[in-house]
Structure formats: structure tokens, C-alpha cells
Amino acid sequence: MKRLSARELRRAQERMLKNLGLDVEELGVAEEVVVKLANRQIVIRNPAVYSMKTAGEQVIQVVGGEMTQQTAERQQYTPSEEDVMLVASQTGVSEDDARKALVEAEGDLAKAILSLRSRR
């Protein structure tokens, strides 16, 4: 079997992917890619980044690089007095109950109000 050069191999790969309906584009080497999840953060330094398009969808692929993970310590939300007063006035509950509902809803006013109204 004939050995292909890197250039010939890349062109053959591009043709094959196009025949499958994939449009692949190399975007380059990123300095850093950060993926933030609910309980941790993944940092990838110097990865190659590719974009693949097919059937109206776009997929970003991150290849290689040095990966580190960090666990994220979530800070508890502290509602402002204005938010507490608003939720308390809209639901007719005490300020303490409104504050607890806002902390549970992580500051989402509508979610806190709906939660308190559904408890009635």
C-alpha cells in the first residue's frame, strides 16, 4: 500500500468527510478553553479546535492540550432587601420565608414567588 504524505492524507480525509455530508474546518489552536459545569470547571490549554457542520447543526471539537479540573465551590446567594420585600409583598409571607424562598431559587424572583404561592 502506498504511503500518503500528510497533505495527501488531509485532502483524502476532507473528501471523505464531504462525501458523508460533514464540513470540517480547522479553527486553529486556542490559548485556553474553559468548560463550566455545575460542580466543576475544566480548563484545557493549547488545544486544536475544529468546527464540523452537518444537517444544519454545528459541532465544536476540542482536541489535545493540557487539561486541568477544578471543583467549583458555589457561593450561597444572598438576596437584597428589595428582592425580599418584593417577594414578601407579592405572596403575603414573612420576610424570613421570602428570604428562604429566594435562596432556594438562587435569586430567581419569579421562581421564588411561584414556589411560595404553590405552598398555600
DSSP calls for 40-104: EEEEEES-EEEEEEETTEEEEEEE-SEEEEEE--PPPP---HHHHHHHHHHHT--HHHHHHHHHH
Q: What is the arithmetic mean of pLDDT over 89-102?
A: 92
Q: Please check whether residue 62 lies inside any domain of the structure.
A: yes
Cell reading at 46: 493549547
pLDDT digits (tens, 9 = 90+) for 61-92: 898 888 888 876 666 778 999 999 999 999 99
The pLDDT assigned to 72 comes to: 64
The reply to whether 46 and 100 lie within a common domain is no
Backbone angles phi, psi at 37, to 5 degrees: -110, 175
The reply to whether 59 and 85 lie within a common domain is no
The reply to whether 85 and 67 lie within a common domain is no
Q: Please check whether residue 76 lies inside any domain of the structure.
A: no
The reply to whether 60 and 36 lie within a common domain is yes
CB 34 within 8 A of CB 41: yes
The pLDDT assigned to 2 comes to: 77
pLDDT digits (tens, 9 = 90+) for 105-116: 888 999 999 998
- Rounded to a whole number of angstroms, the CA Rg of the chain reads 25
Which residue shows C-alpha cell 478553553?
33
pLDDT digits (tens, 9 = 90+) for 2-50: 787 878 887 888 888 888 888 888 899 999 999 988 888 899 999 999 8
Q: How confident is the model at residue 54 (pLDDT cuts 50, 70, 90)?
A: confident
Q: Residue type at 6? A: A
The reply to whether 35 and 13 lie within a common domain is yes
Domain hosting 85: range is: 81-119
pTM, to two decimals = 0.48
The Cα 112–Cα 91 span in angstroms is 9
CB 88 within 8 A of CB 98: yes
The reply to whether 20 and 62 lie within a common domain is yes
The pLDDT assigned to 4 comes to: 75
Q: Please check whether residue 1 lies inside any domain of the structure.
A: no
The reply to whether 67 and 20 lie within a common domain is yes
The reply to whether 13 and 63 lie within a common domain is yes
The reply to whether 10 and 45 lie within a common domain is yes
The pLDDT assigned to 25 comes to: 84
Give the CATH number, domain containing residue 31.
2.20.70.30
The reply to whether 61 and 87 lie within a common domain is no
- Give the count of domains, the chain: 2
Cell reading at 119: 405552598
